[in-house]
Amino acid sequence: MPVADFSGKRGLVLGVANKRSIAWAIARRLAEGGAELAFTYQGERIESGVRDLADTVGSKLVTECDVRSDEDVERVVREVGEAFDGRLDLVVHSVAYAAAEDLEGRFTDTPRERFWLAIDVSAYSLVAVARAAEPLLEQSDGASIVTMTYLGGERAVPHYNVMGVAKATLDASVRYLAWDLGQKGIRVNAISAGPVRTLAARSIAGFPTMEAIVEERSPLRRHITADDVAGAAAYLLSDDARNVTASTLYVDSGYHAMGM
């Protein structure tokens, strides 16, 4: 399929963990279109893998980022600004976390501190990044931010638990950020993907069941790949979507429209 043109565009990608990551599929698509990219990683354990992936698309900036720290987010954005001459066109936010024990059993039993941890990492991090990057994004002629959400933020999905609450917070944040930043020409959208076979998905109890149900009951009756999500993200990040903001694009074979 034709690759969207991102020649001359500069982007920041948060959330690549390995070659199976949705964030990496999106980054690869942007790079194929000519975008120049910077990457963040979380923790020394995955640093070398992220650096190796970034090297394959010619990225020269790979830096650690703890999204729970405003200071760290601001440092990362400063580094990006220096590398990209004070302008940023694209932000891919694919960051989420909940403790594994909170993705099984009852949502009711989620302890307070882990409830706030999930929301901090999975939702507030988008706000922190958008705020820090705003001065760079407003230098672009049509900047775009895309984040990853899921149907569990709208409906109760067994075992998704506190992550569903975090995604609901993320969904609302997208709308409010879109309003705040729209007057500067900065668009903010979300992609709600069906179950994708990533390493992170394996931490969700019952993931194979989720995948099987989507494949059985969605109108298209097929599962979702990271490349499917990447194609949708490329559209939202491209100039073709210049009048699309505050929106959620579903990439789930139509499952979200079904009643049972």
Residue 160 falls in the annotated catalytic set: yes
Name the active-site residue from 150, 176, 235, 250. Answer: 150
Name the active-site residue from 41, 97, 160, 255. Answer: 160
Residue 97 falls in the annotated catalytic set: no
150 with 169: CB under 8 angstroms? no
145 with 188: CB under 8 angstroms? yes
Shortest CA distance to 98 belongs to which of 27, 152, 55? 152
Tell me which residue has tokens 């501190």. 113
Q: Are strands 90-93 and 61-64 parallel, antiparallel or unpaired?
A: unpaired
Could you give the C-alpha distances from 250 to 40, 147, 151, 241, in angstroms and in order?
Answer: 26, 12, 9, 15
Our measurement of the distance from residue 143's CA atom to the centroid of its chain's CA atoms, rounded to an integer in Å, reads: 16
- Which residues participate in catalysis according to the annotation? 150, 160
